[in-house]
Copies of this chain bind each other. A is one copy, B any other.
Amino acid sequence: MTDATQLKPDAFKVACSSCNLRELCLPVGLARPDLERLDALVATRRSVARGDMLFRAGDAFQSLYAVRTGFFKTCVSSEDGRDQVTGFQMAGELLGLDGISNDRHSCDAVALEDSQVCIIPYGQLESLSREFTDLQHQFHKIMSREIVRDHGVMLLLGSMRAEERLAAFLMNLTQRLQARGFSASSLILRMTREEIGSYLGLKLETVSRTFSKFQDDGLLEVKQRHIRIIDQDGLQQLINGAHC
């Protein structure tokens, strides 16, 4: 099993302190001196081509990764080959937190388009967060936020119907895209129907049918992976108990 961390790290350096994602990423809220120390830590980027894996379940854990550009999915699989997409990650979001528990990654991270990540060596992050309270606290918040997010997905998987799931998924995506300066009403899906279905606990046919239904109901315009949201309130109502 190859250690993905070592593969072709890009030579050039990057600085958190001048990164346009710093308000969405690990450095949120850090003051100047902390930020400059972080620059030293997050020294290299790595490119991951569409379809390639950043890491896979079983790989030794050494680093966290911050998505700089592109789009990822993470998936876990059980022994009998079932697998489940556990999340989609976009710019500014962290990958690899699962690896801390066992010193091995427990899921695969796959690039859904050509992407770049910043490599955050975990040991160094621990050291630095012993020095800087704010960094420590921020890191803990990010882990906690991931737990809270996961609980939200459990709620979705455990108690929502297909339409509600897809509506919640779309609202979540657009909200995150909007925070990154993209349109609130128009988006291009980076993942297939099957990947959406896996994330939402549905079959790809059900995802496809539900997209079609949303289109018929005048909520969306769907052209393959191009989605235009026509009735945002309508979608929101779907999530909030407008059952039937």
Taking beta carbons and an 8 Å cutoff, which residues of A are in contact with B?
Answer: 76-84, 86, 97-102, 106-107, 126, 129-131, 133, 136-137, 140-141, 143-148, 150-155, 157-160, 198-201, 239-241
Decide: A151 and B106 in contact? CB cutoff 8 A: yes
Decide: A158 and B157 in contact? CB cutoff 8 A: yes
**Known contacts being A100-B144, A126-B140, A144-B143, is A241 close to B154, with CB within 8 Å?**
no
Decide: B76 and A151 in contact? CB cutoff 8 A: yes
Decide: A133 and B130 in contact? CB cutoff 8 A: yes
A76 proximity list for chain B (CB < 8 A): 151-152, 154-155
A98 proximity list for chain B (CB < 8 A): 144, 147-148, 151
A137 proximity list for chain B (CB < 8 A): 126
Decide: A159 and B84 in contact? CB cutoff 8 A: yes
A147 proximity list for chain B (CB < 8 A): 97-98, 101, 143, 146-147, 150
A146 to B151 CA separation, bound complex (whole angstroms): 11
A199 proximity list for chain B (CB < 8 A): 158
A150 proximity list for chain B (CB < 8 A): 147, 150-151, 153-154
A143 to B98 CA separation, bound complex (whole angstroms): 9
Decide: B151 and A86 in contact? CB cutoff 8 A: yes
A158 proximity list for chain B (CB < 8 A): 84, 157, 198-201
A99 proximity list for chain B (CB < 8 A): 144
A80 to B241 CA separation, bound complex (whole angstroms): 6
Contact of A201 among B77, B82, B159 (CB under 8 A): B159
Please list 23 pairs of residues, one from A and one from B, whose beta carbons are closer than 8 Å in the complex, sorted by A's number. A78-B155, A79-B240, A80-B240, A82-B155, A82-B159, A82-B160, A97-B147, A98-B144, A98-B151, A100-B140, A100-B144, A101-B144, A106-B148, A106-B151, A126-B136, A126-B140, A129-B130, A129-B136, A130-B133, A130-B136, A143-B143, A154-B157, A159-B198
